[in-house]
């Protein structure tokens, strides 16, 4: 597993500078554009709707979780499908490595990537005074867990995907709606009552809530445990399925 991880790190070493710049620029643009721009509008007109904090403080951890989801999903789907079709998995298949080890090593690397991207995001948040202290570490782990909860099931599915456009479709019709209905940009309590139970079932909602309560310092043991349990189930379940699907694709 570590040998596979080392391979991905070797590749990453060639591009890490560019990817760190993106990791920092991305949240910077979001926090300036939406946090400060849209936030001014929200804070002036409807401050009560979002738990009494500034819109930027409310939005930033939501975006942190959503960005972790997006990064992890793309790495775990397109990255995996490419590796399985004509990339790294193909060259590693004839070696003593087992398909399960390829899955574990790649997921470990994706976890590492999400950790770095989330770390960069939190540094930017701290620069805006939106997070601080030990809570930041909690939010970092929360965001990383959110990423893994998406990466593992995505990899389990994508290793069998032969047409990359299927990934676009899932991104458009699964991942994008999750952004909208998981409380990223606004509180779920602002949605019509009948749709709220749906939101509570969405994995990203659990990621957003976990990161937001940790970031605002309002986390409770019970609440966080539920979110963590939900996300861990997805991550572990995804990995268990991936062990089977990887073998099916790579050892047909």
Partner 1 sequence: MVSTHPLVEARDLTKVYPARGSTPEFRAVDGIDFALERGESFGLLGPNGAGKSTTMRMIAATSPISGGSLRVLGMDPMKQGPEIRARLGVVTQDDHLDNELTVRENLHIYGRYFGLPRAVIRERATRLLDFAQLQEKAGDQVETLSGGMRRRLTIARSLINEPDILLLDEPTTGLDPQARHILWDRLFQLKQQGVTLILTTHYMDEAEQLCDRLVVVDHGRIVAQGSPQELIHRYATREVLELRFRLDERDTAAEKLRTSVLATGGTDAEGRVELLPDRVLVYTADGEAALATVHAMSLTPLTALVRRATLEDVFLKLTGRSLIE
Interacting residues toward partner 1 by CB under 8 A? 3-4, 6-7, 10-11, 14, 86-88, 90-98, 250-252
Residue 208 per-residue DSSP state: H
Residue whose CB is less far from partner 1, 88 or 216: 88
Residue whose CB is less far from partner 1, 84 or 140: 84
| DSSP H or E stretch at residue 151 | helix 134-158
Taking Cα atoms as reference points, which of 25, 46, 27 lies closest to residue 35? 27
Compute the least distance from the CB of residue 15 to partner 1, in Å: 9
209/14 Cα distance (integer angstroms): 35
Residue whose CB is less far from partner 1, 15 or 218: 15
Compute the least distance from the CB of residue 97 to partner 1, in Å: 6
Compute the least distance from the CB of residue 94 to partner 1, in Å: 4
The vertex-187 CA angle with 228 and 204, nearest 5°, equals: 35
Cβ neighbours for 3, distance < 8 A, ≥ 6 positions apart: 97, 101, 105
Residue whose CB is less far from partner 1, 94 or 192: 94
Compute the least distance from the CB of residue 132 to partner 1, in Å: 39
Cβ neighbours for 68, distance < 8 A, ≥ 6 positions apart: 114, 117, 118, 143, 144, 146, 147, 150, 207
Two tokens at 217? 């310092």
Compute the least distance from the CB of residue 10 to partner 1, in Å: 6
What is the per-residue DSSP string for 148-194?
HHHHHHHHHHHTT---THHHHHHIIIIIHHHHHHTTSSS-GGGS-GG
Residue whose CB is less far from partner 1, 95 or 218: 95
Compute the least distance from the CB of residue 173 to partner 1, in Å: 21
Do the beta carbons of residue 81 and residue 161 sit within 8 Å?
yes
Residue whose CB is less far from partner 1, 28 or 78: 78
Compute the least distance from the CB of residue 174 to partner 1, in Å: 22
Residue whose CB is less far from partner 1, 158 or 219: 158
2/224 Cα distance (integer angstroms): 31
């Amino acid at each position: 597993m570590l040998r596979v991880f080392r391979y991905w790190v070797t590749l990453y070493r060639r591009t890490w500078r560019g990817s760190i710049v993106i990791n920092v620029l991305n949240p910077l643009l979001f926090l300036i554009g939406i946090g400060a721009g849209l936030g001014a509008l929200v804070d002036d007109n409807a401050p009560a709707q979002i738990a009494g904090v500034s819109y930027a403080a409310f939005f930033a951890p939501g975006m942190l979780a959503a960005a972790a989801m997006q990064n992890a999903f793309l790495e775990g789907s397109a990255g995996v499908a490419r590796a399985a079709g004509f990339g790294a998995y193909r060259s590693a298949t004839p070696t003593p490595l087992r398909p399960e080890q390829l899955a574990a090593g790649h997921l470990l690397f994706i976890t590492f990537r999400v950790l770095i991207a989330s770390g960069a995001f939190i540094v930017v948040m701290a620069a805006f005074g939106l997070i601080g202290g030990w809570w930041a570490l909690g939010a970092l782990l929360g965001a990383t867990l959110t990423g893994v909860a998406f990466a593992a099931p995505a990899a389990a599915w994508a290793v069998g995907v032969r047409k990359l456009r299927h990934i676009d479709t899932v991104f458009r019709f699964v991942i994008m709606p999750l952004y909208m209905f998981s409380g990223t940009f606004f509180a779920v309590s602002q949605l019509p009552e009948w749709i709220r139970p749906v939101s509570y079932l969405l994995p990203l909602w659990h990621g957003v809530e976990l990161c937001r309560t940790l970031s605002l310092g309002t986390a409770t043991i019970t609440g966080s445990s539920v979110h963590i349990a939900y996300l861990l189930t997805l991550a572990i379940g995804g990995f268990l399925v991936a062990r089977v699907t990887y073998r099916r694709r790579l050892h047909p």
